[in-house]
Amino acid sequence: MKAMVLNQYGPDAAFEQADMAAPSAQPGQVIVRVAATSINTVDTMIRQMGKDLPLAPDLPAVLGMWTSPEPLRQWAKA
């Protein structure tokens, strides 16, 4: 799958397109195709301030949790 990845922190850091392994669903989870996503103010703060923020993820990171999803697969309940 394609993702926009942040490989470094800082005001000059840029998101780069990267190929990533497709996720797999566990029981009770759903896999969705993301038609669109966005970067919000918190994402830009993470990019600029990095590990100075307690919620900053390890790098490389995929930010942007607001999505427009399309369900693909769902595990059936046993």
pLDDT in tens, 15-74: 999 998 988 888 888 888 888 888 888 888 899 999 888 888 999 999 877 788 776 666
- Specify the DSSP element, H or E, that contains 44: helix 41-49
pLDDT at residue 72, as a whole number: 66
Q: According to the model, what pLDDT value does residue 25 have? A: 84
Burial of 37: CB neighbours in 10 Å, binned 0-12, 13-18, 19+: middle
Cα–Cα distance, 44 to 61 (Å, whole number): 13
pLDDT of 29 reads: 84
Lookup: tokens for 64: 């942007």
CA–CA distance, 2 with 40 (Å, rounded to integer): 20
7 phi and psi angles, rounded to 5 deg: -100, -10
pLDDT number for residue 75? 58
